[in-house]
């Protein structure tokens, strides 16, 4: 965008609408394809915002700004809520409207979104094997390798629990962050103490609730994705070579912050 004085800058200049609105190029000849393209492009924009907010939340956590971190995490939850509602729009695409354009998608799939994979990596769902699928895009692959090797949002939260004096196992604090996150008893004990004393640890309780809400929103987004796929293509294989609905059902079983869910079973129970 050409630099202009702020007093001369119009809305379309600031938002670069000429570039943004030139990206919706249909290839199938179907007059339903515009819906499909806009729905997926808008999702990518929201994923970009999610990545931005998650990074800021991690920075705030490392600076012990727990409430600002919780605010950013809450914003991520609201973004995911908006993304979830957007599936309702895509679900208006009937099967007989989608099938004629499907061959033009080739091997393209929404699950190939590297921003989506970055979000998963930042939330702890790390799978090194996924990265090979992006060898056609060196920039995306480099971003994913970086996200794989860096601690995620929950790692930052657990590190702060340790800094606040909670007894977190040292081996867990120094675990291999390239691996998917696994539940740990010492982390569960820390969260249980926080939840049993919410007034004493109000900022950490708020953080825990924010993380729980974020995961709930993410799972709701996944569920609505599953439902939208079922409505549009039924039990066919996914366009990107996945198993379609069985694959989506499988990912619903993967929890980002397991201890925050596990402790709810035993809170208030007298040993």
Would you say 81 is a known binding-site residue?
A: no
Would you say 62 is a known binding-site residue?
A: no
Q: For tokens 């129970």, name the residue.
A: 269
Q: How many whole angstroms from its chain centre is CA 120?
A: 5
Q: Are 147 and 175 in contact (CB under 8 A)?
A: no
Angle between helices 258-266 and 202-233 (to 10 degrees): 110
CA–CA gap between residue 76 and residue 71 (Å, rounded): 9
Would you say 4 is a known binding-site residue?
A: no
The token duo for 108 is 């393209």
Neighbour tally for 123: CB within 10 Å: 23
Q: Are 244 and 236 in contact (CB under 8 A)?
A: yes
Exposure of 118 in the CB half-sphere (CA atoms within 13 A): 24
CA–CA gap between residue 95 and residue 91 (Å, rounded): 10
Q: Which 3 state secondary structure label does DSSP give 3?
A: coil
The backbone torsions φ and ψ at residue 102, rounded to the nearest 5 degrees and listed phi first, read -60, -40
Q: For tokens 């539940």, name the residue.
A: 183
Q: Which 3 state secondary structure label does DSSP give 34?
A: helix
The token duo for 154 is 């929950």
Residues annotated within the binding site for substrate are 102, 239
Residues annotated within the binding site are 102, 225, 239
Residues annotated within the binding site for heme are 225
């Amino acid at each position: 965008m050409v630099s202009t004085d702020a007093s001369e800058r119009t809305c379309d200049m600031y938002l670069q609408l000429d570039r943004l609105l030139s990206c919706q190029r249909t290839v199938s000849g179907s007059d339903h394809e515009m819906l499909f393209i806009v729905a997926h492009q808008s999702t990518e924009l929201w994923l970009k915002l999610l990545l931005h907010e998650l990074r800021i939340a991690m920075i705030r956590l490392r600076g012990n700004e727990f409430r600002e971190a919780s605010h950013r995490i809450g914003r991520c939850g609201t973004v995911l809520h908006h993304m979830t509602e957007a599936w309702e729009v895509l679900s208006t695409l009937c099967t007989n409207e989608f099938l004629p354009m499907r061959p033009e998608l080739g091997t393209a799939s929404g699950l190939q979104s590297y921003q989506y994979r970055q979000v998963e990596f930042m939330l702890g769902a790390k799978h090194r094997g996924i990265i090979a699928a992006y060898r056609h895009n060196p920039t995306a692959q480099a971003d994913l390798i970086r996200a794989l090797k860096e601690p995620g949002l929950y790692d930052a939260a657990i590190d702060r629990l340790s800094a606040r004096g909670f007894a977190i196992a040292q081996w867990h604090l120094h675990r291999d962050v390239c691996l998917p996150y696994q539940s740990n008893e010492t982390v569960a004990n820390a969260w249980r103490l926080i939840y049993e004393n919410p007034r004493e640890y109000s900022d950490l309780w708020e953080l825990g609730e924010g993380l729980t809400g974020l995961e709930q929103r993410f799972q709701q987004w996944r569920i609505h994705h599953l439902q939208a796929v079922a409505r549009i293509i039924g039990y066919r294989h996914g366009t990107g070579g996945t198993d379609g609905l069985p694959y989506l059902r499988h990912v619903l079983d993967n929890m980002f912050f397991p201890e925050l869910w596990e402790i709810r079973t035993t809170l208030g129970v007298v040993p």
